[in-house]
Amino acid sequence: MLSVEEAARLLEAAPGIKYKAALGVAYGAGLRVSEVAHLKVDDIDSERMLLRVEQGKGARDRNAMLSPHLLALLRVWWREGKRRGVMFPHGWLFPGRSYTDPISTRQLHRAVQEAAEAAGIKKRVGPHTLRHSFATHLLEQDVDIRIIQVLLGHAKLDTTAIYTKVSTRTIQAVASPLDRLMALMEGQTPPG
Q: Does residue 69 belong to any structural domain of this protein? A: yes
In this prediction, residue 158 has a pLDDT band, given cuts at 50, 70 and 90, of confident
Q: Does residue 129 belong to any structural domain of this protein? A: yes
> How much of the chain exceeds pLDDT 90, in percent?
59
Three-state secondary structure call for residue 100 = coil
Q: Please give the helix or strand (H or E) that residue 53 lies within, else none.
A: strand 50-53
Q: Please give the helix or strand (H or E) that residue 111 lies within, else none.
A: helix 105-118
Q: Where are the alpha helices (DSSP H) in 13-50?
A: 17-28, 33-37
Active site residues: 32, 57, 128, 131, 154, 163
- Report, as an integer, the average pLDDT of 84-112: 94
Q: What is the pLDDT of residues 7-51, one digit of tens each?
A: 999 999 999 999 999 999 999 999 999 999 999 999 999 999 999
Sheet order of strands, 44-45 included = 44-45, 50-53, 62-65
Q: Does residue 190 belong to any structural domain of this protein? A: no
Q: Does residue 183 belong to any structural domain of this protein? A: no
Total domain count for the chain? 1
Q: Does residue 149 belong to any structural domain of this protein? A: yes
Q: Does residue 182 belong to any structural domain of this protein? A: no
141: domain CATH number?
1.10.443.10
The whole-number pLDDT of residue 161 equals: 72
Q: Which domain holds residue 66?
A: 4-177
Q: Does residue 25 belong to any structural domain of this protein? A: yes
pTM of the model: 0.81
Q: Does residue 188 belong to any structural domain of this protein? A: no
Rounded-to-integer distance, Cα 105 and Cα 126, Å = 10
185 or 130: which leads in pLDDT: 130
Per-residue pLDDT for 56 more than 70? no
Which residues, listed in sequence order, are joined to residue 132 by a DSSP beta bridge? none
